Structure 1
Amino acid sequence: MDDNILTHYGVLGMKWGVRRTPAQLGRKKSSGGDKEEIKKAGGKGKVSSGNSGRKAVKDMTDAELKELISRLELEKRYRDLSKSEEQVRSAKGRDFVADVLEKSGKNIATQFTTYMMGTAVNKLAGSEIVNPKKGQKDK
């Protein structure tokens, strides 16, 4: 009997040579900090908090909030003004295609529903009362 069996006790999806961080392992960070996280933060010795230095809105003063709003409005106006003619045309074309598809879809759904309802009425009645293709009584 041959006992040549290969068994693998690795983690699914893990790559060779890639180590998981302590956070991924569910361990607390060490007090010295992780070297990889310091590298990712730009080598400054500080790990970014993830919110990119912004305060919560409820912690802002009225002046800070007004300043932020005016900045966001200026950025929006700049984006709107800097749109090229081609972007505007493509947006109009996209709207046209979306409108055509929506109307076609409604039309097809209406026809399908009419056909199915007519077929169901005919089956219940046991005779051809409704023409399912027209959705009305034959005269």
Structure 2
Amino acid sequence: MDNIAYDVYDKFPALPANLHWGELRSVATDNCLDSMGNQPPAMMGLSHCHGGGNNQLIRLNAAGQLGVGERCVEADRESIKLGVCRLGTVDGPWIYNEETKHLLHRSLKKCMALHPTNLQLYSANCDANDAYQQWYFKPIKPKY
């Protein structure tokens, strides 16, 4: 291994523990964050929670990476997107506050929000009283 795959841990570091794993539900609508079956780059969406995981199986690890499968949830000033996780990284910009139920993007200093009329996801200034910025994780069990 030292001669052939000497850089494997640089490109594929050990994964941090998942803090949350399941459905990510909007407090305002009780719908789920969903990749909508799209491949990156694509907009994330919200849809009826079906309990089957798949496009709605969201994980947040201890290093702040929010993801769907092996893809990462990213944000910019306008939207929340599904992207390709950077090779060799296991961290991310997200912090989940259990009390306020906010998902804060550290570098943008904005919260994941849902527009109340068109139900599009975007980044907004955090408001503790806005249910459209509040999220909760609901663990789901695989149905084998």
TM-score (norm 2): 0.18
TM-score, with structure 1 as normaliser: 0.19
Q: Which has the higher strand share?
A: 2
